[in-house]
């Protein structure tokens, strides 16, 4: 069974610090990798996607992908209390057919940014 693993947390960081969220996946053929943020009682909101090995930066967020290690991470710089949420890692499988691809999610990591 194809799995996505995340540390459930909670991960607590002080305001202004760097938060590091990690995710591993079992399907070596996985092609696309997504990070979603989910506030309590709300639906997931896309933060970033990454397809190629290396780093991708968008504002305070940096996604890192290492396909050889089957590892993807999200760094949040200058963490703010408003970043407190659950962060979901999602991957698309390597054997999907036509059209869009199903997402396999981890259980999410709960981040708490302490003022």
Partner 1 sequence: ETGVTQSPTHLIKTRGQQVTLRCSSQSGHNTVSWYQQALGQGPQFIFQYYREEENGRGNFPPRFSGLQFPNYSSELNVNALELDDSALYLCASSSEGGSTDTQYFGPGTRLTVL
Does residue number 4 form part of the binding site for partner 1 (CB under 8 A)?
yes
Does residue number 34 form part of the binding site for partner 1 (CB under 8 A)?
yes
**Least spacing, CB of residue 93 vs partner 1, in Å:** 9
Does residue number 28 form part of the binding site for partner 1 (CB under 8 A)?
no
H or E element in which residue 4 lies? strand 4-6
Does residue number 79 form part of the binding site for partner 1 (CB under 8 A)?
no
Q: Pattern of binders to partner 1 over 90-109, x per CB under 8 A?
A: x-x---xxxxxxxxxxxxx-
Structure token digits, residue 25: 């996946």
- Nearest Cα to Cα of residue 30 among 61, 64, 62, 72: 72
The full DSSP string for 25-43 is: ES-TT---EEEEEE-TTS-
- Nearest Cα to Cα of residue 30 among 106, 91, 103, 74: 91
Q: Which of residues 36-75 bind partner 1 (CB under 8 A)?
A: 36, 42-46, 49, 51
Does residue number 35 form part of the binding site for partner 1 (CB under 8 A)?
no
Round to the nearest angstrom and report the end-to-end CA distance of the chain: 40
Local structure of 29: helix, strand or coil: coil
Per rule CB under 8 A, count of chain residues that contact partner 1: 28
Binding site for partner 1 (CB under 8 A): 4, 31-32, 34, 36, 42-46, 49, 51, 88, 90, 92, 96-108
């Amino acid at each position: 069974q194809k799995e996505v693993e995340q540390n459930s947390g909670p991960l607590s960081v002080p305001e202004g610090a760097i938060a590091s969220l990690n995710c591993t996946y079992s399907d070596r053929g996985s092609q696309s990798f997504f990070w979603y943020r989910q506030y309590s009682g709300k639906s997931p909101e896309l933060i970033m996607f990454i397809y190629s090995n290396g780093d991708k930066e968008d504002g305070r967020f940096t996604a890192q992908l290492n396909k050889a290690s089957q590892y993807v991470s999200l760094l949040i710089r200058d963490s703010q209390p408003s970043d407190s949420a659950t962060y979901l890692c999602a991957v698309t499988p390597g054997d999907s057919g036509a059209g869009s691809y199903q997402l396999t999610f981890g259980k999410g990591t709960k981040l708490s940014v302490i003022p």
